Amino acid sequence: MSAPEDDTRLWLIKAASDLMAAQRLIDIEPLILDAACFHCQQAAEKSLKAFLVHKSVRFDKTHNLAYLLGLCAPHDQQFNSLVELGDLLTPYAVEVRYPGDALAPPLEEAQEALKAANTIWDFVLARIPSEHHPSSNPSS
């Protein structure tokens, strides 16, 4: 594997870890829904960054999923279909991490965030050759 391919896999491993963490935080009592939403955003962000690394696209350090989707779209216009999901998840990068910024989201909102993150994850995985995928797939 070349360096970009190694990096692609590493980004996907991190994204998978965030997806699994989010799922557990939603499934196991006590529910920790603010952290689950944060991990959903992180999973989507790292999935998109994996795609960009795979395509050798440079990107700024950011949590803004619309920005990352905009960088992905020239390589596959179908990324534009994910903008609404990106807009849903982006606020969780910061808003739920600090006291006073936002209340913990209700369970339904956390489940919606997890569904959005899994959608982005699956979308990205379908566009990266399987030899770069992590050995465990959290959405399967």
Tell me how far apart the alpha carbons of residues 131 and 112 are, in angstroms, rounded to a whole number.
Answer: 30
Whether 122 has a pLDDT exceeding 90, the answer reads yes
| 139 located within any domain | no
The tens digit of pLDDT for each residue in 62-76 reads 999 999 999 999 999
Tell me how far apart the alpha carbons of residues 64 and 70 are, in angstroms, rounded to a whole number.
Answer: 10
pTM tops 0.85, yes or no: yes
Any idea what the CATH number is for the domain that residue 13 is in? 1.20.120.330
Domain residue limits at 50: 3-129
| 134 located within any domain | no
67 vs 104: which has the higher pLDDT: 67
The tens digit of pLDDT for each residue in 2-21 reads 556 689 999 999 999 999 99
Q: Which amino acid is at 90?
A: T
Residue the block writes with tokens 């991990």: 39
Average pLDDT over residues 133-138: 79
